[in-house]
Amino acid sequence: MNAHDSEKVVGTLLARGYREVPTPEEADLVLYNTCSIRDKAEQKVFTRLQNFKREAGKGKVFAVLGCVAQQEGERIFERAPHVSLVAGSASYTRLPEMLVQLEEGNRRVTGLSLDTDETFDTPFTRRDNPHRAYITIIEGCDKSCAYCVVPFTRGPERSRTGESVLAEARRLAESGYTEIQLLGQNVNSYRDPSPAAWDFATLLARTAEVPGIRRVRYTTSHPRDFIKAIVDAMDSNPVLCNHVHLPVQSGSNRVLGAMQRLYTREQYLERIAWIKNARRKMALTTDIIVGFPGETEADFEETLTLLDEVQYDSLFSFKYSPRPNTAALAMEDKIPDAEKARRLMVLNEKQRAIQIRRNAEFIGSLEEVLVEGHNPATGQWIGRTSQNRTLNFTHPPNGGASLVGRYLNVRVTRSGPNSLAGESAANVM
Ligand code: SF4
């Protein structure tokens, strides 16, 4: 979401006549978009701002955007006095107005209100990728997971109208985009604010019908709001990629309760069963936090048994990191960092073995990939399957023409823990 916010901010600046330069050294205005989901990311912001300080005397203007801006607010001006603009994502609709204030020489401009029902819906988005585009469908979050800063930094849930999402998808298809990724902190709680009142499953199905769009993905899901109609929609239209990212965070009901995740292991597994029982073979990925306050060895073991049971295709794992304002901050039974690191290692080793096994099952199969790049060092092309697997492949010499953005059938010949390798079937589509 941050990457896409940056695309919208850059587009807004370009529309006002700004020009993008390759390095911060060449810029008159430096905007730093930030993440505070983990403590380490936040520390990096202040180190980077410190490095920028040397440049401040040269008339450069500095801005801090995103979650650290929202969380630290005007304290950023104290820690980094050379910063002139501090704005959280819930205030980006005011960005043009804030830019005017900066241009007028105002040295302290803020956009920190979370009190909004607007989304940052701009026609000016400047996109980084010419084939795959993000579309935000919902911003903010109304859940209150005990470890998470998002409700404090991105504000309450606000959905865009289904018609404005489809209009953006049509514009993208007309300009050559073939893959769309619908974005939101919790896409499953999407609710069209227009009288049509589409839910997420309906929006998914309608987006998949936009002519020219060949792939639709979405991220991220909350298991509590993940309903069977979503799987049914995916099952009935192959344009909807066969991959579900369903963050579980822990396999222990005790820890899930403490995390205020609003579902049990059993309810989560019920959703996994819907996905596994679909006619199309869907890839499953998740997020896991180890070392949440009070997580015992037995709780952690339950997370490991969940991995055995689900057999994820991939996962993102994190050591719990205390964040400001969150309920977990006040919880007893902190886990030492060395123990968190041990659990993370055990988890990742188990998952690596699962991935080696699961990826090996693809050897011999024919997969359609969207070509994303070329690696000159290996001579291989880099593709992505509908299941979101990276598939590196060789292709017969074609006079140096780029395949990027094309859809190809690739025969899988080898596999590793994190990717597949193969040879193109050479019939460019
Ligand atoms: S659902 Fe929970 S983890 Fe996800 S953004 Fe909302 S509060 Fe954070």
Residue 208: its pLDDT value, please? 98
Question: From the CA of 149, how far away is ligand 1's center (Å)?
Answer: 8
d(CA 45, CA 56): 16
Output the CA 331–ligand 1 centroid distance in Å. 18
Distance 245 CA to ligand 1 centre (A): 14
Amino acid present at 10: V
Ligand 1 pocket test, candidate residues 2, 71, 143, most atoms within 8 A of CB: 143
- Indicate if the pLDDT at residue 41 is higher than 90: no
- Of all protein residues, the one whose alpha carbon is nearest to atom 2 of ligand 1 is 145
Atom number in ligand 1 closest to CA 249: 3
Q: Does an H or E element contain 134, and which?
A: strand 132-136
Q: Are β-strands 109-111 and 83-87 bridged in parallel, bridged antiparallel, or unpaired? A: parallel
Nearest to 141 by CA among 114, 172, 103: 114
pLDDT for the residue 428: 46
Mean pLDDT of 351-369: 98
- Of 32-36, 76-80, 289-293, 329-333, which one has max mean pLDDT? 289-293
Token pair, residue 229, equals 């109609």
- On average, the pLDDT of the chain sits at 94
Which atom in ligand 1 lies closest to the alpha carbon of residue 185? 5
Beta bridge mates, 408: 369
CB within 6 Å of ligand 1 — which residues? 141, 143-145, 148, 150-151, 185-186, 222
Record the pTM. 0.93
Strand residues in 198-253 grouped as ranges (E): 215-219, 243-245
Q: In the 8-state DSSP scheme, what is residue 259?
A: T
* Tokens (6 digits) for 281: 């073979």
Work out the pLDDT band at 55, boundaries 50, 70, 90.
confident
Here the tokens at position 253 are: 């009901």
pLDDT at residue 312, rounded to an integer: 98
Cα-Cα end-to-end distance for the chain: 31
Q: How far, in Å, from the CA of 390 to the mean position of ligand 1? A: 27
In angstroms, what is the span from residue 320 Cα to ligand 1's centroid? 14
* pLDDT surpasses 90 at 253: yes
Peptide bond before 220: cis, by omega within 30 degrees of 0?
Answer: yes
